[in-house]
């Protein structure tokens, strides 16, 4: 744990954290010393970026290769009307700069892919997955699990959200344990086709930020092993256990050693090992 070394401005800014014994000056210093990567500066990424920055996470990586569109603004709250057409990474970085000068933003204006994911993760303590597609979701799961980087998973669809945390260890579980492959293309509609209640990713992304902050401070019980399913229309939360699958293609025995073994298109399936010749 980093030694508490908060200056007077920081003691003021973070006073509601510092006053709680579960966080205290040491917990706040740990946050200031932390590096979190948020993948996707969209509906889930917005509240995550907002609350991680407000909490004083010292280094915030933001990865996104998109530009702001007007149809994003109904839910992607770090962007403003004047940002339409601007890279999301830039717009999100400007938001953080206005909010908290303690936070250094690292802009990754790129599409996270098998070729860059390992070097990207190497610089971070934890990843918040705010992506909106199965390809990135499976890629992040596989890369984080292989590298032992904890990550928070969140997803939204119409009025329903789901969120959980994976400790990132080789002992699993990981996202592939309950969901070994992505559904075939075209079977699940995306937000553009199916719609999404604008506030829903706000709730889910805020839970992802909560999980990240707890992990970095080292308090509480995480969602590791539990998928929290949120029905916004009925205002109901339900928990589904997530168990490790010993035959999981990533965290199971004989699982992959590298994301290079996976074709991240369509179902993101791990290729069956070639039959041994002997
Ligand atoms: Zn697994």
Q: Report the CATH number that the domain containing residue 170 is assigned in CATH.
A: 3.40.50.720
**Predicted TM-score (pTM) of this structure:** 0.94
Average pLDDT over residues 228-241: 98
pLDDT for position 11: 97
Report d(CA 197, CA 220) in Å as an integer: 30
Average pLDDT over residues 89-109: 98
pLDDT for position 275: 44
pLDDT for position 169: 73
Report CA(170)–ligand 1 centroid distance (Å). 8
Q: Is 163 exposed, middle or buried (0-12, 13-18, 19+ CB in 10 A)?
A: buried
Q: Which of 159, 154, 149, 110 is nearest to 131 (CA)?
A: 154
**Within-domain flag for 136:** yes
The total domain count for the chain is 1
**Within-domain flag for 185:** yes
Catalytic residue among 177, 191, 248, 251: 191
Task: Confirm if 209 and 200 have CB atoms less than 8 A apart.
Answer: no
Report CA(242)–ligand 1 centroid distance (Å). 10
Average pLDDT over residues 225-241: 98
What is the per-residue DSSP string for 178-213? Answer: T--SPPPTTSS--HHHH-B-TTHHHHHHHHHHHHHH
Task: Confirm if 259 and 118 have CB atoms less than 8 A apart.
Answer: yes
Report d(CA 108, CA 175) in Å as an integer: 24
Q: Is the confidence at residue 260, as pLDDT, over 60?
A: yes
If one compares 68 and 276, the residue with the highest pLDDT of the two is: 68
**Within-domain flag for 5:** no
Task: Confirm if 211 and 47 have CB atoms less than 8 A apart.
Answer: no
Question: How does pLDDT run across 179-212, given as a tens digit for each residue?
Answer: 999 988 878 777 778 899 999 999 999 999 999 9
**Within-domain flag for 278:** no
DSSP designation for 244: -
Which residues are registered as beta bridge partners of 238? 229
Report CA(171)–ligand 1 centroid distance (Å). 8
Contacts of 28 (CB under 8 A, 6+ apart): 4, 6, 10, 14, 17, 18, 56
**Within-domain flag for 83:** yes
Q: Which of 177, 142, 143, 159 is nearest to 252 (CA)?
A: 177
Among residues of the chain, what percentage have pLDDT more than 70?
A: 96
pLDDT for position 4: 65
At 108, the pLDDT band (50, 70, 90 cuts) reads very high
Report d(CA 12, CA 18) in Å as an integer: 9
Q: Which domain holds residue 140?
A: 13-261
pLDDT for position 15: 98
Q: Is the confidence at residue 113, as pLDDT, over 90?
A: yes
Question: How does pLDDT run across 132-163, given as a tens digit for each residue?
Answer: 999 999 999 999 999 999 999 999 999 999 99
Annotated catalytic, 191?
A: yes
pLDDT for position 272: 59
**Within-domain flag for 273:** no
Task: Confirm if 163 and 204 have CB atoms less than 8 A apart.
Answer: yes
Question: How does pLDDT run across 42-98, given as a tens digit for each residue?
Answer: 999 999 999 999 999 999 999 999 999 999 999 999 999 999 999 999 999 999 999
Task: Confirm if 240 and 226 have CB atoms less than 8 A apart.
Answer: yes
Report CA(141)–ligand 1 centroid distance (Å). 9
Average pLDDT over residues 3-8: 82
pLDDT for position 193: 81
DSSP designation for 56: T
Q: Is the confidence at residue 261, as pLDDT, over 80?
A: yes
At 274, the pLDDT band (50, 70, 90 cuts) reads very low
* Tokens linked to 150: 């904890």
Report CA(210)–ligand 1 centroid distance (Å). 23
Q: How many residues does the chain have?
A: 278
**Within-domain flag for 237:** yes
Report d(CA 52, CA 39) in Å as an integer: 13
**Within-domain flag for 274:** no
pLDDT for position 273: 52
Lowest average pLDDT, out of 98-107, 181-190, 211-220, 232-241, goes to: 181-190
């Amino acid at each position: 744990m980093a030694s508490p070394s908060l200056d007077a401005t920081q003691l003021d800014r973070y006073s509601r954290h510092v006053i709680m014994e579960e966080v205290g000056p040491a917990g706040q210093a740990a946050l200031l010393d932390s590096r979190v990567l948020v993948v996707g500066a969209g509906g889930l990424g917005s509240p995550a970026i907002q609350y991680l920055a407000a909490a004083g996470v010292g280094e915030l990586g933001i990865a996104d290769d998109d530009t702001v569109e007007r149809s994003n603004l109904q839910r992607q709250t770090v962007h403003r009307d004047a940002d339409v057409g601007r890279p999301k990474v830039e717009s999100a970085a400007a938001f953080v700069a206005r909010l908290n000068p303690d936070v250094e933003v690292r802009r990754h204006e790129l599409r996270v892919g098998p070729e860059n994911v390992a070097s990207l993760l190497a610089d971070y303590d934890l990843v918040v997955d705010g992506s909106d597609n199965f390809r990135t979701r499976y890629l992040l799961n596989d890369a984080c699990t292989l590298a032992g980087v904890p990550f928070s998973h969140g997803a939204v669809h119409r009025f329903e959200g789901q969120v959980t945390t994976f400790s990132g260890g080789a002992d699993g579980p990981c996202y592939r344990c309950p969901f070994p492959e992505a559904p075939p293309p075209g079977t699940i509609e995306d937000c553009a086709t199916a719609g999404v209640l604008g506030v829903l990713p706000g709730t889910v992304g805020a839970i992802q930020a909560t999980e990240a902050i707890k992990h970095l401070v080292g308090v509480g019980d995480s969602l590791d092993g539990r998928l929290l399913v949120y029905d916004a229309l009925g205002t109901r939360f339900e928990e589904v256990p997530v168990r490790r699958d010993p035959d999981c293609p990533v965290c199971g025995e004989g699982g992959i050693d590298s994301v290079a073994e996976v074709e991240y298109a369509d179902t993101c399936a791990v290729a069956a090992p070639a039959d041994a010749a002997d």
